[in-house]
Structure 1
Amino acid sequence: MIDSGKFQAGEKLPSVRELCEMFGVGRSAVRDAITTLKGKGTVYVKQGEGTYICGFDSTKLFTNPMSLPGSRDIRELFQVRKILEAGIAEMAALNRSEEDLKVIEEILYNQSNNGWESDYNLHAAIAKATGNEIIIQLIQFISTMMKKAMIDFHNYIQINPTTVKTISEQHKSIYEAIKLAQPGIAKQRMIEHLDFVEKELSQSLVLQNP
């Protein structure tokens, strides 16, 4: 209910008694759930007042790698990725060197064997191909922040060869556009790729946390 937005940030949760009635469970189960949510930073308790929903604190991103708790955070993070990485793919198509292309080719050749690391290395190599040091550091930051969620995601998609194949083909199509110096196409291919990964990652969280 928190994840879906039925309970909004800053809103007070129903009382323990009301939650017991809503979910048909005892007080200890509700208290344990609140303690768990508090530990994850999802809620906070005001003594004598009740339990409130925490807002998403973006400042925490700069100190802790992110284990994505819900679909809203994924959606907002992927909005950032689409703005940033679509432009990166576009710039890489304009600025890439032959050495950059060789590095990306090597990563693509080995991507089926390396899972998360291959994904990380590919996006980092595309960022490097822009020649912009600030962009390179931003991509490293985002990838580090998402590491836990993306490792879990790559473990999840291994059970679906079709998804693995689709992602591999998307990576190759981004590379081809960069290689052929087609900035507009590289940008569009990156957006399509991130749209697909966002959808699959959200689905994996639903299945992991029914």
Structure 2
Amino acid sequence: MAQPGTGEGPAVAELAPWPRRPARLAHAVIEALTDRIVAGHFPPGSALPVEAELCETFGVSRTTVREAVKALETKGLVHARQGSGTTVTVQEEWNLLDPVVLAATFQHDDELVVLDQLVGVRSALESQMAAQAAAVGSDKDLRAAQAMLSRLDRETSTPLRFIESDVSFHAAVMHASGNRLGQSIVRIVHAQARTTELYNGTPDEASCRTANAEHRRIVERLLARDSEGAAQAMSAHIEEAWRRRRSPQPRR
């Protein structure tokens, strides 16, 4: 993610007008401003352009701009104060579970810092849910996770299809845990991460076969009702799969 510039004051970039007028105006303004804030073009402590300038830049009404700024505030990106303008907040205040903020964050995560953090969160939550699934999951739910293995075996030669079924496999294990909050958190962050090539890598048949061998160890531990073993197998799979996809050098 881009860092604020150095110097006597924050360097603020100018916004470029749209070549075409988007259909969903407020949402388009929100996405554009979120992207510029996350990219560091409007560093923490800097002020957004005044309302009239935003109206002119995006070709929208004051009502649309006010709606967009209000949305940015609910996302934790800005503080809007009457008479003192709209100020960008520090990164710690940003709501990274908001889909728009999260998508922009991943888009500008050139050194994979946030994606590394995502994998850590997934490893912690999904290993816990694998342990819960082994302990309390119904036989029917565990058989559903087991059934995914055959489907994944058939799809190792079609990596794009495999990675879609891989998501379904993990969803089946999480469902078996009964942990609805954990499922929601993982679903939000993983869905956004999968929209970026930085996270997806370039899957091939060999990596798919390796991943499914790891899936099989998870299922074996689940069926054995081995909570600790299921947790360890899930954590190892998530972290190793990321290590295989991750570039050995930071992206520039």
Pick the TM interval, shorter chain. Answer: 0.5 to 0.7
Asked if the contact 1:66–1:147 (Cα under 8 Å) also holds between the matched residues in 2, the reply is no
In 2, the alpha carbon distance for the partners of 1:143 and 1:87 equals 17
Residue 213 of structure 2 aligns to a residue whose secondary structure is helix
What residue is the counterpart of 1:42 in the other structure?
39
1:75 and 1:82 mapped to 2: Cα distance? Answer: 11
TM score, norm. by length of structure 1: 0.67
Unpaired segments ≥5 residues, structure 2? 8-34, 48-89
Provide Cα deviations, 1:64-118, integer angstroms capped at 9, x if missing partner. Answer: 2636223101111112112211111111111122211221122221122532321
User: Does structure 2 retain, via aligned residues, the 8 Å contact 1:153–1:204?
Assistant: no
Counterpart of 2:236 in structure 1 is 192
**Is residue 2:98 matched to residue 1:62?**
yes
Q: Deviation string for 1:37-78 (max 9, x for gaps)? A: x7483222469xxxxxx8476514323263622310111111
1:15-94 aligned within 5 A? 39=36, 41-45=38-42, 55=91, 58-64=94-100, 66=103, 68=106, 69-70=109-110, 71-94=112-135
- The AA in structure 2 aligned to 1:174 is I
Alignment coverage as a number of residue pairs: 171
Q: For the residues of structure 2 that align with 1:129 and 1:177, how far apart are their CA atoms?
A: 13
In 2, the alpha carbon distance for the partners of 1:205 and 1:125 equals 33
Letter of the 1:195 counterpart: E
Distance 1:132 1:43 in 2: 36
For 1:166 and 1:40, the matched residues in 2 are separated by 39
Higher relative contact order at CA 8 Å, sep ≥6: structure 1 or structure 2?
Answer: 1
Aligned to 1:96: 137
Which residue number in structure 2 is paired with residue 12 of structure 1? 5
Deviations 1:104-159 (A, max 9, x none): 122221122532321211111111101233233233223322231379626x112x
Distance 1:119 1:174 in 2: 13
Are the aligned partners of 1:174 and 1:190 in contact in 2 as well (CA < 8 Å)?
yes
Cα gap change, 1:77 to 1:151, in 2 (>3 Å): closer
Q: Secondary structure at the match of 2:103?
A: coil
State the identity as a percent. Answer: 18
Rounded to whole Å, the distance in 2 between the matches of 1:134 and 1:186 is: 20
Paired residue for 1:143?
A: 190
Query: Hey, what's the Cα distance between the residues in 1 that align with 2:236 and 2:36?
Result: 36
Aligned partner of 1:76: which letter?
Answer: Q
Mapped contact 1:107–1:122 kept (Cα < 8 A): yes
What secondary structure sits across from 1:129 in the alignment?
Answer: helix
With over 3 angstroms needed to count, the CA separation of the structure-2 counterparts of 1:76 and 1:136, relative to structure 1, is closer
Higher helix share: 1
